[in-house]
Structure 1
Amino acid sequence: MNGSGPVTLSVMALLFTLAAQADIYYPPLSGHVVDRAKLLAADERYQLTELIQQYESDNSNQLVVAILPELHGITIEEYAHQLARHWKLGHKGKHNGVLFLVAPRERKVCIEVGDGLESTLTKALAANIIQTKVLPMFQSGDFAGGINVGVQSIIAATKNEYVTAPLETKKDRRMTILLGLLLILIMLQLFGTSILSSPIHGPGYKRGRFGGYYGSGGFGSGYPSQRSGDRFSGGDGGFGGGGASGGW
């Protein structure tokens, strides 16, 4: 009887975990791009699908992009891991699946890597892709471009062709901010001097518009040819927690 306490607690904890996971909704695997959040335009989604289909056709690695409206109250790392296992991404015996998960509501992104690809798409490379390629575009509002470059970087990494970009440190960010403030002060000084010395200064200035580009990640133009509707299923890939995540 004395040893039954810890066992009972362990069983209860397991049952609670299973019950909590049972309430999590996993969308059906409807294609290489599952955009449940309606974040991408139709042509962007089709072109991205075409790229991933060609990639899988070339080397059998199974890459899926999932854009979901919510994570049901759990971390993106746990959700990505469970979703990849639920969809059984990757082919049997190869464990060569990759899930690129984007959660716009939580402002999170995760790359979940199958066991068979962890030696090429390492945690360090996945983190570098997220931090230096994906998040800068997401922060500027260019979600299509960020997803685009993320997919292309994942493909390059699995082919040993990805070139690691240097990560910006806190010291680098502080220096960038200080230089930016200094430049603003200099411009204000020059601008103020110019106005004071000008005999005529009226409302003849127009402010230009600028913003992030959308959907211009290098897929080409036009719609891809119709294939099989991109209906496919996962295989039997294994996921042991490889990959990385980040937020913007």
Structure 2
Amino acid sequence: MFIFRAFFVLLVLNIFSTTKVFAENFSVPKFTSSVVDKANFLPPFTQDKLRAIFSILQKQGIAQLAFLSVNSLNGESLEEASIRVVDQWKLGDKEKDNGILLFFTKKERKVRIEVGQGLEGVLTDAKSSQIIRQVIVPLMKQGKTNEATLYGLYAIVESISNKNIAKQLFGNSFSSHKKLRKKKKSSFLFVIFLLFFLMGGRGGFFSLFLISQLGGRSSGFGGGGFGGGGFGGGGGGGFSGGGASGSW
């Protein structure tokens, strides 16, 4: 009888302990768009710009990128949380396995690049680590979350496509990692803005030119209020833990 009671007590304690762990675990945010900024790392105009860029990359079949920042992992490891995010968000194309997640966590001061299996050959673990160590982390240590994100994503896009596409999307100044600058938009750019939306975000690589004119000339994405450009889930590509993590 004593043994049975002891076993019962241990079972109950284990259930409560397990329930507490699950309650405290990281909760994957809802996939509302390709940019989910729970930690408020990015200003609205940067979020809009990134959504448009991600949409073009997906339409061209290059990759399905997503950005996520959260306040805390609640005790869960960054790597485990990242895999849960890409699985629940169904990031990447089923056939190409071309999903990429740039994931920041504020409290733990950590960042991860999660790479789909289809892109591990070009965006290798070593390359992902280099981008984090040499591009993202130094800027994060200075509190420049916006710049760290932009320069980091430029390096990612350059790795999975080529320098010309990255320059067209982000602007020439990103290639040399110069300080972000702002320039006034002309009426010509406003016409391009209208053309882009009249085309419904379509037009192949002509869209790359339009986006570059909408913000790429000035490296700072200084303005332009436009939405996600029709970004949608790719059906869910395969992930096997490729990528890299870092902290600042």
Give the TM-score of the pair, scaled to structure 1.
0.66
Any conservation in 1 of the 2:33–2:231 contact (CA below 8 Å)? yes
Map of 2:172 onto structure 1: none
Structure with larger Rg: 1
Spell out, residue by residue over 1:218-245, the C-alpha distance to the aligned partner (whole angstroms, 9 max, x if none): 25432144465x5633412110010000
Q: CA RMSD in A?
A: 3.1
Residues 90-239 of structure 1: matches in 2 within 5 Å?
Answer: 90-159=92-161, 161=163, 218-226=219-227, 228=229, 232-239=232-239
More helix by share: 2
Structure 1 counterpart of 2:31, one-letter code = L
SS of residue in 2 equivalent to 1:74: coil
Spell out, residue by residue over 1:14-52, the C-alpha distance to the aligned partner (whole angstroms, 9 max, x if none): xx69x7499531111111111011221111211222222
1:232 and 1:246 map into 2 onto residues whose CA distance is: 28
Spell out, residue by residue over 1:154-212, the C-alpha distance to the aligned partner (whole angstroms, 9 max, x if none): 111112559xxxxxxxxxxxxxxxxxxxxxxxxxxxxxxxxxxxxxxxxxxxxxxxxxx
SS of residue in 1 equivalent to 2:60: helix
Unpaired stretches in structure 2, ≥5 consecutive residues: 1-13, 165-178, 183-217
Residues 33-44 of structure 1: matches in 2 within 5 Å?
Answer: 33-44=35-46
Map of 1:199 onto structure 2: none
Any conservation in 1 of the 2:63–2:92 contact (CA below 8 Å)? yes
Any conservation in 1 of the 2:69–2:103 contact (CA below 8 Å)? yes
Q: Tell me which stretches of 4 or more aligned residues in structure 1 moved more than 6 Å.
A: 213-217
Any conservation in 2 of the 1:31–1:231 contact (CA below 8 Å)? yes
Residues 20-39 of structure 1: matches in 2 within 5 Å?
Answer: 20=22, 23-39=25-41
SS of residue in 1 equivalent to 2:132: helix
2:60 and 2:231 map into 1 onto residues whose CA distance is: 18
SS of residue in 2 equivalent to 1:111: strand
Match of 1:55 among 54, 57, 72: 57
CA shift, 1:214, in A, is 7.4
The change in CA–CA distance for 1:104 and 1:34 in structure 2 (over 3 A counts) is same
Any conservation in 2 of the 1:110–1:245 contact (CA below 8 Å)? yes
Spell out, residue by residue over 1:85-118, the C-alpha distance to the aligned partner (whole angstroms, 9 max, x if none): 1211101111110010011211000000011110
1:246 and 1:107 map into 2 onto residues whose CA distance is: 9
Any conservation in 2 of the 1:129–1:153 contact (CA below 8 Å)? yes
Spell out, residue by residue over 1:35-89, the C-alpha distance to the aligned partner (whole angstroms, 9 max, x if none): 0112211112112222222222223410001011111211111111221112111
Map of 2:83 onto structure 1: 81
The change in CA–CA distance for 1:219 and 1:131 in structure 2 (over 3 A counts) is same
Any conservation in 2 of the 1:122–1:242 contact (CA below 8 Å)? yes
Give the TM-score of the pair, scaled to structure 2.
0.66
Q: Percent identical across equivalent pairs?
A: 31
Unpaired stretches in structure 1, ≥5 consecutive residues: 1-11, 163-212
Map of 1:71 onto structure 2: 73
2:125 and 2:181 map into 1 onto residues whose CA distance is: 27
Any conservation in 1 of the 2:31–2:89 contact (CA below 8 Å)? yes
* Number of residue pairs aligned between Structure 1 and Structure 2: 186
